[in-house]
Amino acid sequence: MIKVAVLGYGTVGSGVVEVLRVNQEIVNKHAGQEVELKYVLDLRDFPGDPVEEVLVHDFETIVNDPEVKIVVEVMGGLKPSYDFVKRCLESGKNVCTSNKELVAQHGTELLQLAKANSVNFLFEASCGGGIPIIRPLYSALTADKIDEVSGILNGTTNYILSKMASDGSDFESVLAKAQEKGYAERNPEADVEGYDACRKIAILSSLAFEQYVDYKDIYTEGITKITAADIKYAQTIGTSIKLLAVSRQSDKGTYAMVSPVMIDSSNPLFSVNNVFNAVYVHGNMLGSSMYYGRGAGKLPTASAVVGDLIEASKNVNQTVMGEGWNPKKLELMPLDEISGRFFVRISGSITEKLPAVEKVFGTVEPITVPSMEDEFAFITDEMTEAEYKEKANQTDGILSMIRARI
């Protein structure tokens, strides 16, 4: 038998308790032993909820109980999570977490601490909710040099962009509806500004490139400026706009970026819609692969946490991820040096404006949308961000720019 404590009885925490209860038999079988939930920590009381039997309000009860071998941290945030997790690892307890902030901010240290104490610090649920991506990266795609990890890593923004595309609505009105439905938080900043995706791609990049990537170094742009007009253009040329988190390694260096990107149907991420998430991984032998599923939600996230819990229960005194990634920070390329293509919308008629645009950008193929007169768009050749900025400065009437990977 192995005894477990859950820190936090919020959405994910109650999901973990539910998975342990409903799939008890499967969990025990896969763990090779009975898994017993000994404590749930929460400051609140839950009168009438069966959780009362195991509910405690004091973390010390858990950390000082030598019977507890695995601690599930699903409180979120850094305070007090960071201290709690650190103390658990130092006390020789395995920790499984869904907390992307914690992993992005302190993962390097916590992985080393786990190794030093011969326990595990596991975080499958921190990126892509229920999608198994962390374990494939460290245990399956091991024969490859991974040169790209990218993905749609935030369900809220993918839902908003999908809805904008299907309904032709503007960002603000779709956001309001998403908030009503509970698909977006009342304070949606972390999602719509790309901060959530940024932390996730930092974690995935650290794992894939096996060296610490600091999320603060990643250029991050959200979807708040995307308009119904932008999406009409995208649809006209058979593309879609996604909030992509991209991380690539080449001879020139490594870059990482979170931003809206126009992609076409040849990209496996093209048809990932609504709240679904997907992670694309490219290896030098494997080629392209993709992992798709529910990126958030109580039960999919809890399923990933409990998968970690089972992994930990089979390896209570053996650190399956080793020391983790190299703690020396991986220097990312400056934004200016990153190359790509750019979709650009220009105000004014083609006849009037195109000559000036072509003087700066060279020959372009203008794109028009029937219902939208007095403007047009084009997609640049590949150039660096610096080159684009310079050309954009010389161009009048730019309505919007979206990076294009087509």
Kindly indicate which of the ranges 78-86, 126-134, 193-201, 215-223 contains the residues binding its own copies, using the contact rule CB under 8 A: 126-134
Of residues 111 and 346, the one with the C-beta less far from its own copies: 111
What is each CA distance from 61 to 57, 65, 97, 291, in whole angstroms? 8, 6, 19, 39
Among 88, 261, 309, 404, the residue binding its own copies under the rule CB under 8 A is 309
As beta bridge partners, residue 398 has 346
Coil vs helix vs strand at 81: helix
Q: Does 142 bind its own copies (CB under 8 A)?
A: yes
Tell me the CB-side half-sphere exposure of residue 76, using CA atoms within 13 A: 7
What is each CA distance from 205 to 2, 69, 301, 317, in whole angstroms? 33, 29, 20, 27
Among 33, 140, 176, 381, the residue binding its own copies under the rule CB under 8 A is 140
Q: Does 303 bind its own copies (CB under 8 A)?
A: yes
Among 44, 187, 251, 285, the residue binding its own copies under the rule CB under 8 A is 285
User: CB under 8 Å, gap of 24 or more: what pairs does 193-196 form?
Assistant: 193/220, 193/222, 193/224, 194/154, 194/157, 194/220, 194/221, 194/222, 194/223, 194/243, 194/245, 194/258, 194/259, 195/220, 195/222, 196/100, 196/153, 196/154, 196/156
As beta bridge partners, residue 346 has 376, 398
Among 284, 317, 349, 394, the residue binding its own copies under the rule CB under 8 A is 284
Q: Does 130 bind its own copies (CB under 8 A)?
A: yes
How many residues are present in the chain?
406
Q: Does 145 bind its own copies (CB under 8 A)?
A: yes
Could you say which residues in the range 214-233 bind its own copies, by CB under 8 A?
none
**Is 200 annotated as catalytic?**
yes
Of residues 194 and 307, the one with the C-beta less far from its own copies: 307
Among 100, 242, 248, 294, the residue binding its own copies under the rule CB under 8 A is 294
> What are the φ and ψ backbone dihedral angles of 214, each rounded to 5 degrees?
-85, 120
Q: Does 132 bind its own copies (CB under 8 A)?
A: yes
Among 155, 293, 324, 340, the residue binding its own copies under the rule CB under 8 A is 293
State the catalytic residues. Answer: 200
List residues binding its own copies (CB under 8 A): 19, 22-23, 26-27, 30, 32, 124, 130-132, 135-136, 139-145, 265, 268, 270-271, 276, 283-294, 297, 299-300, 302-307, 309-311, 322
